[in-house]
Amino acid sequence: MKNAVEIRNLVVVRGRTRVLDGLDLDIGGGVTGLLGPSGCGKTTLMRALVGVQRLASGTVTVLGEEAGSRALRARVGYVTQAASVYDDLSVTENLTFFATVLGVGGFEVDRSIDAVDLGGQRDQVVDRLSGGQRSRVSLAVALLTEPELLVLDEPTVGLDPVLRQDLWALFHRLADAGSAVLVSSHVMDEAERCDRLLLMREGAIIADGSPAEIRHRAGAVDIEHAFLSVVGGAS
């Protein structure tokens, strides 16, 4: 399969810092995890993929088109870190609105609500939901179109372990159905759930491979130690 994402020599400057400085990266199918401490550039990289980040130079190609181009807008799903939904609308009202914008119908709304397990809360106003439920509403919006590339910025923060497991199972189901899924996290213990891992620090990818490969290469027992050993070796 052709890579879902091809990034060449990407430079992003925010304020006076070069957040990304000449990044090259390909992302293919399966579930790819983007792990690194907060502030390392994960969100900036994800924003560049969905085409809402202003680039200083370099190219980002998504599904064969320039990132953010009109043709991609219904093919790429993006879930921001903060839940980007309307607090004063109910779950169903939120999804129905976004479904109209995306040009899909009631069937997709129901399917998305079921996928994030919010059937029992569908008529509740988002304001009254818990933090985890709100972020699931936000995720449900991204699932409306069964996007070919799904970009999820820390989707499992603050969720209970059972739900986290369910969501990872969902990400893998989507990946098996053919979507490329990119998930960021700053929690290292989520690393083992990914098909491929990208460890990121200070705007650069410092390790790339399956969780087992990365552990093996660094001679570490888990990803957290592998991260430390790669950072230690680099400095």
Nearer to other proteins, 60 or 214 (CB): 60
Phi-psi region at 123: left, alpha or beta (left = phi > 0; alpha = psi -120 to 50): alpha
Nearer to other proteins, 131 or 212 (CB): 131
CA dist., res. 99 & res. 110, Å (int): 11
What is the nearest approach in angstroms of other proteins to the Cβ of residue 216? 38
What is the nearest approach in angstroms of other proteins to the Cβ of residue 125? 7
Is 54 near other proteins (CB under 8 A)? yes
Q: What does the per-residue mask of binding to other proteins show for 59-98, with x meaning CB under 8 A?
A: ---------x-x--xx-x-x-x-xxxxxxxx---x---xx
Nearer to other proteins, 33 or 77 (CB): 77
For other proteins, the binding residue among 11, 125, 205, 220 (CB under 8 A) is 125
Nearer to other proteins, 17 or 130 (CB): 17
Is 184 near other proteins (CB under 8 A)? no
Is 57 near other proteins (CB under 8 A)? no
Q: How many CB atoms lie within 10 A of CB 211?
A: 19
Token pair 């069964």 is found at 146
For other proteins, the binding residue among 11, 102, 157, 205 (CB under 8 A) is 102
CA dist., res. 140 & res. 132, Å (int): 12
Nearer to other proteins, 93 or 110 (CB): 93
Closest-CA residue to 62 (of 75, 52, 53): 75
Close Cβ partners of 199 (under 8 Å, ≥ 6 residues apart): 35, 36, 205, 206, 207, 208, 214, 223, 226, 227, 230
Nearer to other proteins, 102 or 205 (CB): 102
Q: What does the per-residue mask of binding to other proteins show for 131-150, with x meaning CB under 8 A?
A: ----------x---------
- Sheet strand arrangement including 180-185: 76-79, 149-153, 180-185, 30-35, 196-201, 204-209
Tokens at residue 222, please? Answer: 């888990």
CA dist., res. 25 & res. 130, Å (int): 36
Helix (H, G, I), strand (E, B) or coil at 92: helix
Q: What does the per-residue mask of binding to other proteins show for 1-40, with x meaning CB under 8 A?
A: -------------xx-------------------------
The contact set with other proteins (CB under 8 A) reads: 14-15, 50-55, 68, 70, 73-74, 76, 78, 80, 82-89, 93, 97-98, 100-103, 125, 141
